[in-house]
Amino acid sequence: MRKPEGNKSDSTEHVVGRTPSDVVSQSLRLLGSLGPLIILASLGFYAILTFQDSLHRMHVANEDRFAKQFEAHIKSYDTMGKVSSSQVDQLSKLFDLTGKASAEAREADKKAQEQVAKATIAEAQQKVVQNALEKAKAELGTAEADLVKSQIRLAEQNKELEGIKINVSEIAKLVYEESWDKVIAKLNDLLKKTGSSINLQFDSEALSRLKELKTERESSVTLVPDEERETLTEQIRKYVSDNSKNQAAAKAWLTKNRVDMPIAIFLESPNGALKQRMVRELKIPPLPRITQRVDPPERSYAALFDPYVPSRHTNTYVIQLQTALCVPDSEIRQRGALTNTKALIQIYKRAERQAGDKLSDDDATRIREQGGCRAGGGQNYFEKRTFDDPSNGAAALRELIAGLRKTQAGATLSPETSLDGTRTTVQVVRNSAPPSAKLMALPPALSGQVTPDFWSMLRRL
């Protein structure tokens, strides 16, 4: 605490003028009056310094931030440069892929267009084929209708043919009886049925020829004994049944000598003189000595013929029939059961689609006119008709072999096999056939032969 100034005046030393205290006091007073200004100035200066410091710090912070941002930009630019290079490569690859894809797309589009064009052509062709198929179906329907009509006409023609056969048989009998008026009437009736406008009448030439034939017949009856005439008949019969060449020669001889009748009717006729001339002019060889003897009737032959005529169906007659049927030699000239002969007759009956198990005279004549059996050829009536035919025999044999090759037993059969070469296979296939095939039973000697039912079974395989 400041002391009162009165105490200082009482001191022994007195100071004249301004003292330091005065200066200090005056300075304080001056400072007291300037204090607010100084404070204000100090505050302003402080504020300025603070602001500058803030600006400096802000500037430094901004510089740091700008440096960092610049560095980040530099890194970004570097990264972008790297990325851009990679992107350029990727874009280049992308462009290449795009180009390839575009080329492939164009190629695919081209192929698609080609496929569309092909499909269009195929569709057009399909329509053409469909139209052709429809046309073929229509033609097939027409053909089937025509076939039905043809079958009807064929049935009618067969019926007419059967009637003609009956009329011819009646005419032949009337000719044999020399009932010429009835013969002409029958012929005119037959011609009328066939739609012909011809009306037959007797003329002088025909009457002259009939008288000539009658004279020849009478001379043959009177000059040629019955036994010799029968021998001549069998001699000619054997000659024409040996082969087709002999048969053609006999027909030509009959035509040349104006004998207007089939060979079968000529053989049954009593024209002994004409038969002598034929044998002489054609140089027909005589029958073997064994066939010229007169044999007694054989009762077992009655099982072969309907009707059975002992005077006609002699041993010679039956032997010739057996030869034409291809009966094994072991049974020819034998008597008894005649198993093979009966079986071969059954084959004939089935080939001709006939019922029964006996032969009529027409059947026997047809068999004997077929000719004999040759080595390597057909061994029954059906085989000879099927495989010995000059026109169709080779094709029939190929069909037989093809059918046998479908079976287990004939799988290895050569396509070039002969008819004889198929016998063993035919026998095995026949013996192993199921009961449903209903094949006719054959004796062992014939089991390798082809029959109509066996042929039908192969065709169904």
Q: Which residue has the tokens 């406008």?
A: 197
| Mean pLDDT value of segment 301-305 | 90
User: Is position 135 within any domain?
Assistant: yes
377 occurs within a structural domain: no
Q: Find the mean pLDDT for residues 235-264.
A: 85
Q: For residue 200, what pLDDT is reported?
A: 59
pLDDT of residue 70: 73
304 band by pLDDT with thresholds 50, 70 and 90: very high
Angstrom distances, CA of residue 163 to CA of 35, 149, 157, 193, 265: 172, 21, 10, 10, 19
Section 200-213 average pLDDT = 53
Domain of residue 261, residue span: 225-294
Global pTM reads 0.41
Percent of the chain with pLDDT over 70: 76
- Work out whether the CA dihedral 405, 410, 412, 413 comes out positive or negative: negative
Task: Evaluate whether residue 125 is within a structural domain.
Answer: yes
- Computed over every residue of the chain, the mean pLDDT equals 78
Highest mean pLDDT among 75-84, 146-155, 320-329: 320-329
Q: Which amino acid, 354?
A: Q
Is 73 part of any domain? yes
Q: Are residues 236 and 151 in the same domain?
A: no
Is the pLDDT higher at 252 or at 178?
252
300 found inside a domain? no
- The total domain count for the chain is 2
298 burial type by CB count under 10 A (0-12 exposed, 13-18 middle, 19+ buried) = middle
In a domain, 117, yes or no: yes
State the DSSP code for 421: G
pLDDT value for 182: 74
Last residue of a domain, one of 278, 294, 310: 294
Q: Does residue 172 fall inside a structural domain?
A: no
Q: Answer yes or no: are the C-beta atoms of 230 and 292 closer than 8 Å.
A: no
Q: In this model, does residue 220 exceed pLDDT 50?
A: no
Query: CB of 188 within 8 A of CB of 200?
Result: yes
| Cα dihedral 294, 298, 303, 306 in deg (nearest 10) | 40
Q: pLDDT (tens digit, 9 = 90+) per residue, 112-160?
A: 788 887 878 878 878 888 887 788 778 877 777 777 777 777 777 766 7
Q: Say whether both 152 and 59 belong to one domain.
A: yes
Q: Indicate if 153 and 237 belong to the same structural domain.
A: no
Q: pLDDT-based confidence at 178, cuts 50/70/90?
A: low
Q: How far is CA 89 from CA 93, 99, 272, in A?
A: 6, 15, 122
297 pLDDT above the threshold of 70: no
Percent of the chain beyond pLDDT 90?
A: 24
Higher-confidence residue of 58 and 211: namely 58
Q: Taking 60 as the threshold, does the pLDDT of residue 208 lie above it?
A: no
Residue at which a domain ends, from 108, 124, 157: 157
pLDDT confidence bin for 201, thresholds 50/70/90: low
What end-to-end distance do the CA atoms of the chain give, in Å?
A: 156
| Residues 230 and 150 placed together within one structural domain of the fold | no
Is pLDDT above 70 for 69?
Answer: yes
268, part of any domain? yes
Which of 157, 172, 201 is at the close of a domain? 157
Q: What is the pLDDT of residue 219?
A: 45
Confidence band for 294, pLDDT divided at 50, 70 and 90 = very low
Q: Which value, in Å, is the radius of gyration of the alpha carbons in the chain?
A: 67
Q: Is 178 left (phi over 0), alpha (psi -120 to 50) or beta?
A: left
